[in-house]
Amino acid sequence: MKKILFATACTIVSYFALGQTQQNTLNTTGNVGVGTTNPATPLEVVGKSNLKGSVAIDSSVTIGDSMVVERDAKIKQDLRVDGKGVFEKKLKTKKDLIVKEDAHIDGDIIMEGYADSIQDYGIMFLDEDGRTFPKDRTSFARLILDIANAGKECLQDPYGNVIPVSPTWHSINPDIVSTGIWNCERNAKVGINTDDPQGYLHVIGFGATNTDRMLVIENPDYDNGNGNNVLFQVGGDGLVFAREIKVNLDNWPDYVFKEDYVLMPLSEVEKYIEENGHLPNVKSAKEIEKEGLNLGETNKMLMEKMEEMTLYMIELEKKVKALEEKLKNENK
């Protein structure tokens, strides 16, 4: 009896040991179906599947219907979308975002800057109506980019109803474009209060007549049709046309009339001219050709010479009167 019990125990132990090491295998020519009796692939599951662990797939994956990822999805290489891609919330790219063809965006575009800000606005905010906001989102202007037409790189208009022209910037709020740097390519034209600039920089007045106020143009013979209404014009040959130029200066030469001013005798002035070929305290022709002419300093120097000349004439008049008085006394 003891031998029978021992043999039975050994059989049970052997059965459990075999169950721990045995693997379930299928024939390599057969298919496995879950929820179907006619599987068409090596593994076919009809209905929902719940996988609580990880899944490793060495080859491609084809999803015939939609796919929902409730948490993060990390793609280590390329992601290609042949159809439409819909992002209902944020889309962040830590490096370059390259769009080779058209991009249609129905919602807002927010540029957050280099710090990856978590605020709901950034450097610039472009809403779905085409309005461009600064960071505070308190003022706006419409931004339209017309890249397709050559020579019409940028157009900004608050209403969006204008015909694109060579680069024209417009803003309904001057604070938007009051500071910063604008960089235009060669042959570009900038117009202020005009959508048809006639020069590199063309400023039209804001009065009732809207006459030209400033014009930087290559052709010096340009006729604006308004006579001489251009207040400031720079030609391509270096000519500058202006109605008036004011220069802020200090130390104006009134010091010539002070009692401690030393007026050089005319004999010394004559000697200086013979040795140097120009007046004292005046730049030579070579210096002017090399350094150019400073309008403010030149006018100050001319005034100094005029005041010195006035003193010479006063002194000369005194000598003439003294001689006249002497001759008058001698002829009595």
What are residue 159's phi and psi, to 5 degrees? -115, -20
The secondary structure of the chain in percent helix, strand, coil, rounded to multiples of 5, reads 25, 10, 65
Instruction: Please answer whether residues 224 and 215 qualify as being in contact, where contact means their C-beta atoms are separated by less than 8 angstroms.
Output: yes
Query: What contacts 240, CB < 8 A, 6 or more positions away?
Result: 232, 233, 234
pLDDT score, position 46: 83
Q: Which residue has the tokens 């006729």?
A: 223
State the Cα–Cα distance between residues 132 and 176, nearest whole angstrom: 10
pLDDT score, position 127: 55
pLDDT score, position 274: 96
Q: Which residue has the tokens 């999803």?
A: 63
Both tokens assigned to 211 = 């006459």
Alpha-carbon distances, residue 156 vs 43, 146, 147, 199, 222 (angstroms): 59, 10, 13, 19, 28
Tell me the domain boundaries of the chain. 106-181, 189-244, 253-330
Tell which residue, 155, 153, 193, 160, has the closest CA to residue 174: 193
Q: Is the pTM of this model over 0.75?
A: no
Residue 202: Cβ-neighbour burial (10 angstroms; 0-12, 13-18, 19+): buried
**Does residue 137 sit in helix, strand or coil?**
coil
Both tokens assigned to 49 = 């599947």
DSSP state of 168: B
pLDDT score, position 138: 47
**Does residue 37 sit in helix, strand or coil?**
coil
Instruction: Please answer whether residues 141 and 156 qualify as being in contact, where contact means their C-beta atoms are separated by less than 8 angstroms.
Output: yes
State the Cα–Cα distance between residues 197 and 191, nearest whole angstrom: 5
**Does residue 255 sit in helix, strand or coil?**
helix
pLDDT score, position 125: 52
Alpha-carbon distances, residue 181 vs 147, 178, 184, 197, 211 (angstroms): 21, 10, 10, 19, 27
pLDDT in tens, the chain (332 residues): 555 555 555 555 455 555 555 566 767 777 888 888 888 888 888 888 787 777 777 777 777 777 777 777 777 777 777 777 777 777 777 777 777 777 776 666 655 544 444 444 444 555 555 555 554 544 444 443 433 443 443 444 444 444 444 444 444 444 444 444 455 555 667 777 777 776 667 777 655 555 655 666 555 555 555 554 556 666 656 677 777 788 888 889 999 999 999 999 999 999 999 999 999 999 999 999 999 989 899 999 999 999 999 999 999 999 999 999 989 888 87
pLDDT score, position 63: 78
Q: Where are the alpha helices (DSSP H) in the chain?
A: 2-21, 266-276, 285-291, 295-330
**Does residue 120 sit in helix, strand or coil?**
coil
Helices (H) and strands (E) in the chain, counts: 4, 12
Sheet holding 190-192, edge to edge: 190-192, 201-204, 212-216, 232-234, 240-242
